[in-house]
Chain A
Amino acid sequence: MADPMRIRAQAAGDKATIRVLMSHEMESGQRKDGNGKTIPAWHIQDVTATLNGKTVMTAEWGPAVSKNPFLQFTIKGAKAGDKVGITWKDNKGDTRSDEATVT
């Protein structure tokens, strides 16, 4: 499995701000190496966020997202103690899931 994500989830009022750092090369597929050969695309395609097991956000990412991407979003109704799960899947079929508790 790929390197772990760093997830921080902080509740404030009736929503929680989720900050995720993902470790991924995010090769766009448009770069060429020193010999002129195109470096094959290798990047996250799908991101899913769950709150206590229920999907609350999905995202489709393309080649424009940069290396080691940072994602921030808010979940309405999330409170301290809830479990936030983040899963990503890349174009090679590799996947990573991590969880954090809302503080």
Chain B
Amino acid sequence: MKKIALAVGLVSLSIIAFAQKSSTDSIAEYRQMLQDGNPADLFEAKGEGLWTQKRGPKNASLEKCDLGKGPGVFKGVWVELPRFFADTGRVQDLESRLLTCMQELQGFDAQEIANTPFGRGEQSNVTALATWIAAESKGMKLNLPQAHIEERKMYEVGKRLFFMRGGSHDFACATCHAQDDKRIRLQDLPNITKNPGAGNGFGAWPAYRVSNGQMWGAQLRLNDCYRQQRFPYPIFGSDATIALGVYMGVNGKGGATVAPAIKR
């Protein structure tokens, strides 16, 4: 009698254990298995090559590009962006700063690249460069500067944009990203108003999206957010996108980064 009771007990325990593994757990497991062999590596390799390659009308490389820590410095710059740049008098994020360097050093037309759709022409090169530069800060903690008044103003603007409701559906960023433990369908949503959500969210892009096989920088991630919020199109490298980057990055201060990450 005892033996049967024990066997029944074990069987029911294993049934409970099986039922406990939720859909979100299984998806997390699947993503963990994909970490090795992240196709973002391919874009990283491409970006690394583009940094030193002489290109554009001026036939120059990007090796003198100042991304915030001095000309040519690429290690550790990504965790301090967006930040204020004296030469342009603007707070800039990585992708808009790359456009500045591609124009000033290589002679490309920054406006033209900004107007090029994602994934085409020089835009795909910007994405590759952004992927590589993010990788050069891999594992470092977010540490955006707020010393300059322009940086602090942009944080405040970013906060207002984050909570602004609009579009046909009255969505704000905050509608989905201002509470803990929320998800859309089975996609977990980081709470971007504070850590760890802000660090996890902001610190994961650029990322490779398995579902469409595309490499997405932070600009494209924000672009698609706004599209699904039913807003009009955010211009590439616009102040609104940069302000949001400041808001998210400052909220994520001290958070460890995982970019370039792999996503669904």
Contact = CB atoms under 8 A, between A and B. Distances in A.
Asked whether the complex places CB atoms of A and B closer than 8 A, the reply is yes
Contacts of B39: 21, 23, 67-68, 70
Contacts of B42: 3, 6, 21, 23, 68
Given A67-B213, A68-B213, A4 B45 contact: yes
A19 B36 contact: yes
Interface string B38-51: 11011001100000
Interface in B207-241: 213
A91 interface: no
A6 B41 contact: yes
Interface in B2-41: 36-39, 41
Tell which of A4, A66, A68 has the most Cβ of chain B within 10 Å. A68
A19 B41 CA distance: 12
Contacts of A52: none
Interface residues of A, number: 12
Main secondary structure of the interface of A (DSSP, over half): loop
Contacts of A25: 213
Interface in A24-65: 25
A103 B46 CA distance: 23
A33 B37 CA distance: 29
Nearest to A22: B42
B55 to A, nearest CB: 17
Contacts of A66: 213
B144 to A, nearest CB: 30
Q: Could you say which interface size class chain B belongs to?
A: under 10
A74 interface: no
Nearest to A70: B37
Contacts of B36: 19, 70, 72
Interface string A91-102: 000000000000
Contacts of B41: 6, 21
Contact of A3 (B37, B38, B46, B213): B46
Contacts of A23: 39, 42
A19 B46 CA distance: 18
A31 to B, nearest CB: 12
Nearest to A19: B37
A6 B45 contact: yes
Contacts of A4: 45
Nearest to B208: A68
A21 B41 CA distance: 8
Contacts of A19: 36-37
14 contacts: A3-B46, A4-B45, A6-B41, A6-B42, A6-B45, A21-B37, A21-B38, A23-B42, A67-B39, A68-B39, A68-B42, A68-B213, A70-B37, A70-B39
Interface of B: 36-39, 41-42, 45-46, 213
Given A6-B45, A21-B42, 10 more contacts: A3-B42, A3-B46, A6-B41, A19-B36, A19-B37, A23-B42, A67-B39, A70-B37, A72-B36, A72-B37
